[in-house]
C-alpha cells in the first residue's frame, strides 16, 4: 500500500525531469555555433546561417563538373600535376527582416598552415558560382528555383586550386567571414 502511495510522487518527479531535459535540449538548439567538426552543420555567423553542403574534387573530364569550371578568369592555368580543382558548395540563409551581405572572405587552410583562396568565377556565366550580393529578408542563396538550388548539390560554388599534398594534411579547415565579423570554421570531409 505504501508503494502505491509513492507512485504519484515518482511519476511527478519523472515528469519534471523529462520537462527539464526538454527545456535543456531547446537551449542547446538555440546556441550560436561558429565551428563545425563536419559539413552539413548550420553555423550562425553575424545574423546569417551558413551550411557547407558538400566539398569535393572537381574533375574537368566529368560532364557535370565541367559546368562548375565555366567562367574562370582568362589565363587561369589548369591544375598542374601536383594540384587539383576543389569545390566547396555552401548555402546561406537570412532569417532577418532586412537585407544582409554574406561572407566575402574565404580560405581553405591545411594542418601545415598552407592557405588557399577561391578563384573568382564570372557569376554572369556560371550559375553555380557563389555571389556575395546582399541576401534579402527571409531569403537564401542559392536562390530557390535556380540551377544551383535545383542541382544535385543544392549549394553555391566556391572553387579552389589545391595541392594534392595539402589534401593529405587533414583536417582541412574552411574559414569564412564577412568584413571584420565573426569567423566561421568548418572541417571539410575530404
pLDDT tens sequence across 98-138:
999 999 999 999 999 999 999 999 999 999 999 999 999 99
pLDDT digits (tens, 9 = 90+) for 151-173: 888 999 999 999 999 999 999 99
Residue 4 CB partners (closer than 8 Å, separation 6+): none
pTM, two decimal places: 0.81
pLDDT digits (tens, 9 = 90+) for 45-54: 999 999 999 9
Predicted pLDDT of residue 17: 45
Q: Which CATH number is associated with domain 33-187?
A: 2.60.40.1240
Taking the domains of the chain in order of start, what are their residue ranges?
1-31, 33-187
Q: In what order do the strands lie in the sheet with 173-177?
A: 35-36, 184-187, 173-177, 105-109, 115-116
Q: Can you tell me the distance from the alpha carbon of 128 to that of 16, in angstroms, rounded to the nearest whole number?
A: 50
Amino acid at each position: 500500500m505504501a508503494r502505491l502511495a509513492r507512485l504519484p510522487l515518482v511519476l511527478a518527479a519523472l515528469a519534471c525531469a523529462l520537462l527539464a531535459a526538454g527545456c535543456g535540449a531547446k537551449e542547446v538548439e538555440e546556441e550560436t555555433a561558429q565551428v563545425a567538426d563536419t559539413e552539413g552543420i548550420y553555423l550562425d555567423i553575424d545574423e546569417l546561417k551558413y551550411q557547407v553542403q558538400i566539398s569535393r574534387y572537381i574533375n574537368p573530364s566529368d560532364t557535370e563538373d565541367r559546368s562548375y569550371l565555366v567562367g574562370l578568369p582568362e589565363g587561369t592555368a589548369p591544375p598542374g600535376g601536383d594540384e587539383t580543382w576543389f569545390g566547396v558548395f555552401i548555402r546561406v540563409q537570412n532569417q532577418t527582416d532586412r537585407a544582409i551581405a554574406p561572407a566575402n572572405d574565404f580560405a581553405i587552410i591545411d594542418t601545415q598552415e598552407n592557405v588557399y583562396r577561391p578563384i573568382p568565377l564570372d557569376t554572369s556565366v556560371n550559375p553555380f558560382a557563389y555571389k556575395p550580393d546582399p541576401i534579402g529578408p527571409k531569403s537564401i542563396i542559392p536562390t530557390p528555383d535556380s540551377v544551383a538550388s535545383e542541382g544535385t548539390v543544392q549549394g553555391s560554388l566556391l572553387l579552389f586550386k589545391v595541392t594534392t599534398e595539402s589534401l593529405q594534411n587533414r583536417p582541412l579547415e574552411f574559414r569564412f567571414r564577412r568584413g571584420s565579423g565573426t569567423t566561421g570554421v568548418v572541417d571539410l570531409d575530404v
